[in-house]
Amino acid sequence: MSRGPVIDPGQQPVAAGRTLESVNSSTTTTAVAHEPGRTRTRLPRWMRFGWVFVAVVVIGLWSLLTGTKIVDTTLFPSPTRLSTAYSEVTSNGQLWNDISTTLHELGLAVLLFVVVGTTLGVLLGASARRFDIAYGPISTLFAMPKITVLPVFVLAFGLGLRQKVLFGALYGLFPLVMNTMVGARAVPVLYTQLFDSIGARLLFRTLRLTLPSMLPFFLTGLRIGYVYAGIGVLLAEMYVSTQGLGQDIVSAADRSTLDHFWVFVLAATIILVIGAGIIKLIENRLASWRG
Amino acid sequence: MMDKHRDLFVKWAWQGGLIIAVLLAWQFLPPALGISKVTLPQFSDVIEWAFKPPLPGAGSLGANIVVTLREIAVAFVVAAVAGIVVGTIIGSSRMANALIQPLLTAAFAVPLITLIPMFLVTFGLGETSKMAFGALYAFFPVVFNTAAGVASVDDLHRQVGRAFGLSPWARFYKIIMPGAARQIFGGLQMGMAITIIAVVSAEVFGATAGLGYLIQRSSQALNGPAVWWVILVTLAMSWALLALLKLVARLLRVRPESSMV
C-alpha cells in the first residue's frame, strides 16, 4: 500500500522536518536539521522584499502585456478591466451574496470534517498496529480522484446545501485524518516514560502530554484540510448549483465574460488564502512557543 | 526477522479483512437501509453491469480508459519535464529562488480546479484541454519538490565536482540528480496523483470521451451500477499508475520523499 505524501496546495514547501519515518523510529532523540557546508550568502537588500518586488513586476508586466495586446485580453483582462468587472459584479450584491453562500457551506464542511476526522485520526493512530493497517489504504484513497463520487452525491443528497457540505467535508477529511494519525503516534517516548514514572493519571496525561503533542499535527491537518474542503465545495458548486462562487465561475466562463470569471476566481483564492493564513499564524506561534 | 514477517502478515490479513467487510456491507446494507438502487446499487449489481454491453453512444470502457490514460501520460510527462527543469534552476540559484518561488507560490494559492471552465472554453472539449490543465496542475508539486531537493544537495559535493573539473552537464547528472532524487520522486508521485485528479475532474465538467465523461453520462442516464463500475475502474487505474511510479523508483533505487508533508 502506498504511503503517499500529504499534498499541501497553496503553501510554500518546507524542508521535511517531520517525515513519518522520523516519527516512527526516532522518538527519543530530537532530529536536528542537517545542513552541512552550506555557505549562506546574504541576498541584496532589494531582493529580501521578494514579495513586494514580484507583485510590482507582475502587475507591471500584466499591464504591459494586456495594454499592448500581446496576450489575449478576452482571456486575461487588463488590470483596469478587472477593476471595472469587480464593480460590475458587486453593484447588484451578487458577489457578496455568493461569497456568503460559499462561506456558509465551507464552514459547515469544516465543522463536519473536524469532528469526524479528529475522531477517526485519534482512533486509528492510537496504536502502532492500527496506524500500520489504516495509513496505507487511507493515503491511497486520498490520491484517488474523489470527483468521481460527486454525481452519486448529487443523486443521493439532491442539489442543495447538503450535497456541497458533505462533498467538501469528504475532500477535507483525508489530510486531517492522516495528520492526526501521525500526531497521535508522535508523543516522544521519553516524555511517556517520564509521565509513567510519576504515575500520571489519564486526565493529566491527556491535557499535559497527548493534546499538546498532537496539536501541531492537528493544525497542519486542519489547514490543509480547510483548503481541500474549499476546493471540494467549489467543485460541488461548479458541478451543479444555483448560487455560490463555483456556480459564478462556471456561468461566467459559459457566457465568455472572462473578466467576471477572474474576479470570482480571485475571490475564491482570497477566501482560501485568508483561512489558511490564520491557521498558519497559530501554527507558527505554537512552533515558536515549543522552541 | 521472523517477527517482521509475522507483522506484515497480520497487517495484510487485517487489510484484506477490512476490504472484505466493506464489500459485504456494500452487498447487504443498501437494501437493508432502503437506499435507492440509483444512488448505491448492491455490489453484485455493479459486477453484473461490468459484463453487460456499454451505455449506448458513450463508447466502450476500454476506449474511454485509453483516452484518459493518454491524457494523463501527456500531462504528466510535460509537468515532470518542465517541473524538473524549472525546479533545478530555482534550486541552484538563490537569485532565481528569490524571484520565481514567490511567483509560483502565489500562482499555486489559486484553487486551480476553478480554472477548468477556462481551459474548456480555450482548448475545447477534446483531449487537449485535459492535457493542458493536468500539466499545469501537476507542474507545481514537481517544481517545489525538485527545487527543495536540489537546494539540499551538499555544497561540498558540488565543490568536489567543480574541483574535479566535471562539465556542468556531468555535475547535474552525477551530483545534483542523485542528491535530489528522493525529493524529485516525491514530487513526481504527488504530480501523478494530481494529474489523475485534474484530468478526471476536467473530463467530468466537459469531454467527449474518457472515464470522467463516462461517469457523467452514466449518472445522467440514472444508471447507478454503471456509475459505480466506472468509480471502481478509476480507483484501480489510479492505484495502478501510482504503483507503477513506485516500481520505477524502486528500480532506480530511490526511496521517494516529499517535502510538502
Amino acid at A10: G
Whether A231 sits inside 8 A of B111 (CB atoms) is: yes
Test mutation, A147, A155, A250, A271, chain B, max B CBs within 10 A: A147
Residue A33 near chain B (CB below 8 Å): no
What residues of chain A lie within 8 A of the CB of B212, using their CB?
145, 147-148
What residues of chain A lie within 8 A of the CB of B258, using their CB?
5, 16
pLDDT at residue B258 in the model? 57
Nearest to A50 among B99, B194, B196 (CB): B99
pLDDT tens-digit profile, chain A (291 residues): 333 344 444 443 333 333 333 333 333 333 333 344 444 455 566 556 666 777 787 888 888 888 787 777 778 888 888 888 888 888 888 899 999 999 999 999 999 999 999 999 999 998 888 998 999 889 888 888 999 999 999 988 988 899 999 999 999 999 999 999 999 888 888 888 888 898 888 888 888 888 888 898 999 999 999 999 999 999 999 998 888 999 999 999 888 888 899 999 999 999 999 999 999 999 888 876 654
What residues of chain A lie within 8 A of the CB of B197, using their CB?
143, 145-147
pLDDT at residue A30 in the model? 33
Cα–Cα distance measured from residue B91 to residue B94, given in angstroms and rounded to the nearest whole number: 7
What residues of chain B lie within 8 A of the CB of A14, using their CB?
259-260
Residue A128 near chain B (CB below 8 Å): no
Looking at chain A, list the stretches that DSSP marks H as alpha helix, in order from N- to C-terminal side: 20-25, 45-48, 50-67, 79-91, 94-125, 128-143, 150-157, 161-184, 189-197, 202-205, 211-239, 245-254, 258-290
What are the residue ranges in chain B where pLDDT is below 70? 1-2, 258-261
pLDDT at residue A150 in the model? 93
pLDDT at residue A220 in the model? 92
Instruction: Give the CA radius of gyration of chain B.
Output: 22
pLDDT at residue A201 in the model? 85
Distances from the Cα of B207 to the Cα of A46, A250, B212, angstroms:
47, 15, 8
Nearest to A50 among B98, B219, B230 (CB): B98
Whether B243 sits inside 8 A of A2 (CB atoms) is: yes
Whether A5 sits inside 8 A of B40 (CB atoms) is: no
The pairs formed by A243-247 with CB atoms below 8 angstroms and a separation of 24 or more are A243/A97, A243/A98, A243/A101, A244/A98, A244/A101, A244/A102, A244/A105, A244/A164, A245/A98, A245/A99, A245/A101, A245/A102, A245/A271, A246/A102, A246/B114, A247/A98
Residue A75 near chain B (CB below 8 Å): yes
What residues of chain A lie within 8 A of the CB of B15, using their CB?
1, 133, 136-137
Label each residue of A218-242 as H, E or C. Answer: HHHHHHHHHHHHHHHHHHHHHHCCC
SS3 A11: coil
Whether A133 sits inside 8 A of B7 (CB atoms) is: no
Nearest to A15 among B18, B112, B259 (CB): B259
Residue A286 near chain B (CB below 8 Å): no
Whether B154 sits inside 8 A of A250 (CB atoms) is: no
Nearest to A5 among B190, B197, B211 (CB): B190
pLDDT at residue B145 in the model? 93
Whether A7 sits inside 8 A of B235 (CB atoms) is: no
Whether A5 sits inside 8 A of B224 (CB atoms) is: no
Residue A58 near chain B (CB below 8 Å): yes
- Nearest chain B alpha carbon to A268: B111
A290 exposure class (CB count in 10 Å sphere: 0-12, 13-18, 19+): exposed
Nearest to A132 among B11, B230, B242 (CB): B11
Whether A9 sits inside 8 A of B108 (CB atoms) is: yes
- Nearest chain B alpha carbon to A140: B239
Whether B14 sits inside 8 A of A19 (CB atoms) is: no
- Nearest chain B alpha carbon to A59: B103
Shortest Cα distance, chain B CAs vs residue A233, angstroms:
11
- Nearest chain A alpha carbon to B12: A133
pTM higher than the cut 0.90 = no
Residue A156 near chain B (CB below 8 Å): yes
Residue B113 C-alpha cell reads as 480546479
